Amino acid sequence: MAENKIQPHIQLSKVNRICFLCGNPDRVSRIASFLNEKEKIAENRGLIAFNGKTPNKNVPVTVLTTGMGCPSTAIILEEAFRAGGKVFIRIGSCGALKPGIRVGDIVIPHAAIRDERTSLNLAPVEFPATSSPDIYQKLFESAKKLNIEYYSGIVWTTDVYYSSNQDEYKNWARCGANSVEMESALIFIFGSVKGLEIGSILVVDGNLAEGSQKSEETMGERDEIFQKGERNAIKIALKAIEELIV
């Protein structure tokens, strides 16, 4: 049940039932640019939030920064949940683990490897981290309706960006993971435990299997190809939300 008090980090007492989450605070305004009646509603400790409505059906949405990694994401999720959030979709970035997946490509994971420790505070490691079936289905159906190609599968969620073991990704790729990022497993577990609708849609910013990790040299999220992919991911998420409330 929502609490009628200002949450200490997001500095909001109320958010919309449907929330988009992104690690990069710069992405919040880019997502908000697709919304009608967009309004910046909070900025605290680098955590930016916007309210707005989806472009075709005017569904109210709140866009929130989570910061990088599961600990920060857990704080934002908990506070947004207390403020009334019930549906959460992460719009983020990831690195590819399989050859042939290119920068700007879309990944819609149905499950995540829990190679992080924050979600252990919510559920034992044996419990699987999975997207909500309805959200996952609406995301991939929306991609198809928009004629945007995507990869599905399992994402590796890790606490470590600069790993001392540069070949660690090969073990997860061998098991079937096709991408790596730092938040989705926690989001999936939080949704399961709290009974929420949760999903994730990711844009590839590099490919570890091909030796192209995000860096200043590769431009990362400033790459025009990545930015096109990000716009595609936002369009898919917006359409999924509008389809979900039909």
Is the model's pLDDT at 66 over the cut of 60?
yes
Q: Residue 246: its pLDDT value, please?
A: 58
Q: Is the pLDDT of residue 216 over 70?
A: no
Tell me: the pLDDT tens digits for 67-90? Answer: 999 999 999 999 999 999 999 999
Average pLDDT score over the chain = 94
Give Cα 165 to chain centroid, integer Å.
25
Q: Rounded to whole angstroms, how far apart are CA atoms 190 and 195?
A: 8
- Please give the structure tokens belonging to residue 68: 């990088």
Ordered domains of the chain (ranges, CATH): 18-244 (3.40.50.1580)
Confidence at residue 180, expressed as pLDDT on a 0 to 100 scale = 98
Cα distance between residue 198 and residue 184, in whole Å: 9
167, pLDDT greater than 90: no
Q: How confident is the model at residue 4 (pLDDT cuts 50, 70, 90)?
A: confident
Give the span between the Cα atoms of 198 and 239, in whole angstroms: 15
Q: Does 97 score more than 80 pLDDT?
A: yes
How many angstroms separate the Cα of 202 from the Cα of each of 12, 52, 58, 99, 124? 26, 21, 24, 17, 26
Contact assessment for residue 155 and residue 109, using Cβ atoms and an 8 Å cutoff: yes
* pLDDT band at residue 2 under the 50/70/90 scheme: very low
Q: pLDDT: is 246 or 44 the higher one? A: 44
Residues 6+ apart with CB under 8 A from 173: 97, 98, 209
What mean pLDDT do residues 5-12 have? Answer: 97
Residue 134 CA to residue 197 CA, distance in Å, equals 8
Strand partners, 213: none
Residues 99-135: tens digit of each pLDDT: 999 999 999 999 999 999 999 999 999 999 999 999 9
How far is Cα 213 from Cα 196, in angstroms, rounded to an integer?
Answer: 33
Query: Are 155 and 184 contacting, i.e. CB atoms less than 8 angstroms apart?
Result: yes
